[in-house]
Structure 1
Amino acid sequence: MEKAKCPIEITLSVISGKWKFLIIRELMGGGKRFGALHKCIGPISAKILTQQLREMENDGLVERKVFSEIPPKVEYSLTP
């Protein structure tokens, strides 16, 4: 029988890592496009930023909104 995790353990497992806190900090001011996030966060590679955003989206922390424009526009924001 597996021991139930407490809310703090769950929170730490979802936002663990070097970059997720910085991504959350940047998105607290409102939605941002990928390029703007990349500039604000600093020495993170595009690959790692994409990976972190996907993980956060899968965990329900971040929403990815795709606008039907040319060129394509994608904006990331925190979920309620």
Structure 2
Amino acid sequence: MKESEKAERKAREKEVRKKFRPIEQLKEEFEKLNMKIETDYEIMVKLISKFNSSASMLDEKVAALYDLEYYVHQVTRMPQ
């Protein structure tokens, strides 16, 4: 990378950091409000666990599959 490109990239990163807060900080703030933020990945892991659980009823497994399908499509559409 050229030095000018590196400088531009750092400037853009600095602007983004001014506009947005880190996810860890947001999680802490929502915890104070008794709200929990989960990433798509965390939700997908829970849905897979629910589907694989022998304690889950058939309707719960079907619902987990539908929800999982939604999240898989969300993740695959994310820009790289």
More helix by share: 2
What's the TM-score once normalised by structure 1's chain length? 0.27
Q: Which structure is higher in RCO with an 8 Å CA cutoff and minimum separation 6? A: 1
What's the TM-score once normalised by structure 2's chain length? 0.27
Larger Rg: 2
